[in-house]
Chain A
Amino acid sequence: MKAKTREQSLSDSRELDGSYDQLTGNPPSSQSKKTIKQRFLKLLPCCQPSATPSVSQYSIEDDFELSTVCYRPEGLEKLLEQTKFTKKELQILYRGFKNECPSGVVNEETFKLIYSQFFPQGDSSTYAHFLFDAFDTQKNGSVSFEDFVAGLSIILRGSINDRLNWAFNLYDLNKDGCITKEEMTDIMKSIYDMMGKCTYPSMKETAPSEHVENFFQKMDRNKDGVVTIDEFIESCQKDENIMQSMQLFDNVI
């Protein structure tokens, strides 16, 4: 019987349980594992030379363990500058974040999982996907604590205009500066999906599209079929209900 090398047998077993490297998404190759990984990680935005030295250490564990990447956020002071939270609030937020994601970053799967716990009846995965895109400002497929806290800071501590901006950013799926009917329909469907089947009155197929029509009638001033940021903010500022509801976020934390 040929004795396999330790690394080889390890990688075989890793393939068997489908454990992939979190960041790269590829199965670890046997020989030049470390060097490729090191090279790739250098390309990560968190490791850009612009970041301060205290930023984003990564540690690759021993051979025997699965290589995990630990992502550490910027220092507390830096976050204090960047966001509008107090120190204690940041501490509490980080504790909760780290508890659920010990590796320091949330990927989309975990994000969806966490969000779905709050909506047991319906399917919240689509809306969670949109949320993830909105939080993941750096478009690297994972939400770090900075992204998380930055987003929360705008929503919970920002001015009304900031919040509306953020909401617009959420709706604008392709980030081209305007919301089309299709994008709005997608968003609306995802929101209605969260309700699930058992509603009163029972959910009609046309409910989302009707709602979209309603929205566009209200928001689209020049009736060109898209809603731009200015139209959006203007219309929202005129609507009492929306203004009222934006106040809700003042006391969440």
Chain B
Amino acid sequence: MAAGVAAWLPFARAAAIGWMPVANCPMPVAPRDHGKRQDELIILNVSGRRFQTWRTTLDRYPDTLLGSSEKEFFYNEETKEYFFDRDPDAFRSILNFYRTGKLHYPRHECISAYDEELAFFGIIPEIIGDCCYEEYKDRKRENAERLMDDQEENKDNKLPNMNFRETMWRAFENPHTSTMALVFYYVTGFFIAISVITNVVETVPCGSTPNQKDVPCGERYTVAFFCMDTACVMIFTVEYLMRLFAAPSRYRFMRSVMSIIDVVAILPYYIGLVMTNNEDVSGAFVTLRVFRVFRIFKFSRHSQGLRILGYTLKSCASELGFLLFSLTMAIIIFATVMFYAEKGSSSSKFTSIPASFWYTIVTMTTLGYGDMVPKTIAGKIFGSICSLSGVLVIALPVPVIVSNFSRIYHQNQRADKRRAQKKARLARIRVVKTGMSSAFLHNKRNGLFNELLELPCSEEVEQHLSKTASLLESQHHHLLHCLEKTTAHEFVDEQLYEQNCREGAVQSYPSCSPSLSSQEGPTGTCCTHQARKNPLPDASVPPTCQGALQELSAVHIQCSDQPALSTSRSSLNMKLDDTSRLNCKSGLITTAIISIPTPPAVSPEGDSQPLTSPSMQTIASSNAVKVSTL
């Protein structure tokens, strides 16, 4: 029930007096208003800005935060007000919703911020009033498209397990992914150009023999052109078949525009092959050659601008239709008028209305060839009106098409820009994250150093350590430390990890000398455990861990450390870290969503083959925690 109407409920109940005398049976008991309070003012303190409203105003919507008892969680006893640590500007529209019953979307507000506020206060966005709903939905769609674009780019990246067919398809769709694909891309482009040029040059008259007129080159060098044509068609056919093979959904591929263009480009050749002998249909055969020009459309795979143009025309179909329709109307009107105006004059070219169409079109598009000219005065008058109106009619729908094109083009530009910025952004985020994890390792090192050197942990040192780290940080580090102890492995620097991966491949057995290790038992035992079994448990890791580490689609947080650590640790047994690498769970994630896949039971000892096994690959990549910053 709308807010304002709730205030009229007493009236509606009073109006029921009209039913009482006619009722035959007794009425049910009315609900009593227990604890009937006087209406009181509530103070809502939102980040310092105080809002006040009646309690009954808020009670209108009992399934929201403010209308239910949930707000009691935010009640501050001392100041006798409800305190919310949220954005006061956004709160305005939320409170207005209670007051007026209509939710408005302020245009200057960011859409995701607004959505979050609504979610916090328990208001569903679907009740936004009509005045603001369109704007809200548009902005939301835009935002979703933007996020979707980002996600789509993530999908593009190489998944570890792609069979040959998928690889091929990816190579076709994104030529920049591999050298082979790029080569193929350029080769096909080259042959398209060759084919088109061939078609054009074929008709140029080249060199006449004395007793003959100029013959087009096509007829003079028939064999050469035929060979060229054949070669091009061979390439195109092979390309088409390969695409067809690689396509994930063949049916969908065959229906797509590009594949139809491909087919239309190569079909005339084959039909020509079949039909050359038959004289009757040679005329048709000649016509078919026209279709060879469609090969030029194959360039749209190579040019983004062409694709945008095509997409614009498709999206402006209605405007184009309107343009066409209005032009047709105008042409018919003016052609009729011109015909009847010029009917009287002698030797008039306006022999019929359809004949006048040509004049009208030429005049309205301001071409003015001059092959048909009105001679009578009436004809001239109407002719001038025709040309003026032509300008108008054409000028009207064109800006719509242009603005559409501009919008799509800019959207594309933005996508490219985002992609370029993304790499830089991700790199910066990575730096920040490694900074945070290095802080942990730094602190740990300091602590460990003290343990190792068996320094009495003097008060000053402890105080110094605690001052440098805030309470939050120290608690966080403690947490990570506990995790290390639980799993009996350690967090380590990314560079160190890579280094050890490489080293692990080269050396034949890990030289573990447990004595010098500052780490406690677990890793020591792990190492000895290793030594007992296959000496090369992780030889398979290096090539894959490189690949896994180079993924940019998600921020893989390998625990990193200062390079200084490696030098200080070199006195300790670095090689031990090899085994810990495998279970290197990542470190610090603050704001992002963590998806930790459950690591499979890592038993590198079980690997009898030192060479790459796919399972190792998956283990390495799945153990790294993928973080996507939203």
Q: Which residues of A contact B8 (CB under 8 A)?
A: 96, 100, 114
Choose one: A117, A163, A251; the contact of B5 (CB below 8 Å).
Answer: A117
Known contacts: A92-B39, A127-B18, A252-B13. The answer to whether A99 contacts B23 by CB under 8 A is no
- Known A-B contacts A100-B5, A100-B7, A118-B9; A188 and B32 likewise in contact (beta carbons under 8 Å): no
Query: A225 to nearest B CB, angstroms?
Result: 17
Is A51 on the interface with B (CB-CB < 8 A)? no
State how many angstroms separate the Cβ of B392 from the closest Cβ of chain A: 16
Q: Evaluate contact between B11 and A148: CB separation under 8 angstroms.
A: yes
Known interface pairs A95-B7, A117-B2, A118-B9; A163-B32 also in contact (CB < 8 Å): no
Contact B22 A191 (CB under 8 A): yes
Query: Interface with B: A22-30, A65-73, A196-204, A241-249, which one?
Result: A241-249
Is there an interface contact between B12 and A115, defined as CB atoms closer than 8 Å?
A: yes
Q: How many A-B residue pairs have CB under 8 A?
A: 99
A176-189 to B contact mask, C-beta < 8 Å, 1/0: 00000000000110
Please pick, from B17, B22, B32, the residue contacting A211 in the complex, using a CB distance under 8 A. Answer: B22
In this assembly, does B606 line the interface, its C-beta being within 8 Å of a C-beta of chain A?
no
Chain B residues with CB below 8 A from A115, complex form = 12, 15
- Knowing A95-B7, A241-B26, A245-B26 touch, does A130 contact B18 (C-beta < 8 A)? yes
CB distance from B440 to the nearest CB of A (A): 57
Inter-chain CA distance A253–B33, complex, in Å, is: 10
Interface pair A245/B20, CB less than 8 Å apart: yes
- On whether A152 and B24 interact (CB within 8 A), knowing A96-B7, A117-B5, the answer reads no
Chain A interface, number of residues (Cβ within 8 angstroms): 45
Q: Are A156 and B7 in contact (CB under 8 A)?
A: no
Using known A-B contacts A99-B7, A152-B10, A248-B27, determine if residue A117 contacts B18 with beta carbons closer than 8 Å.
Answer: no
CB <8 Å contact, B30 and A251: yes
Q: Is B73 an interface residue (CB 8 A)?
A: no
Which residues of chain B from 50 to 81 have a CB within 8 Å of any chain A CB? none
Contacting residues, chain A, for B33 (C-beta < 8 A): 251
- B4 at interface, CB cutoff 8 A: yes
Q: Tell me the bound Cα distance from A249 to B9 in angstroms.
A: 13
Q: Is B21 an interface residue (CB 8 A)?
A: yes
Specify which of A100, A130, A152 lies most central, judged by the most chain B CB atoms within 10 Å of its CB: A100
Contact B26 A191 (CB under 8 A): no
Which B residues lie at the A interface, using CB under 8 A?
1-5, 7-27, 30, 32-33, 38-39, 100
Enumerate 25 A-B pairs (CB-CB under 8 Å) in ascending A order: A95-B7, A96-B7, A99-B7, A100-B4, A100-B8, A115-B15, A117-B1, A118-B5, A118-B9, A151-B14, A163-B17, A170-B18, A171-B21, A187-B22, A191-B18, A214-B24, A215-B22, A236-B21, A241-B24, A244-B27, A245-B23, A246-B17, A248-B16, A248-B20, A252-B14
What 6 new A-B contacts, CB under 8 Å, besides A170-B18, A241-B25?
A96-B7, A117-B1, A241-B24, A241-B27, A249-B17, A252-B14
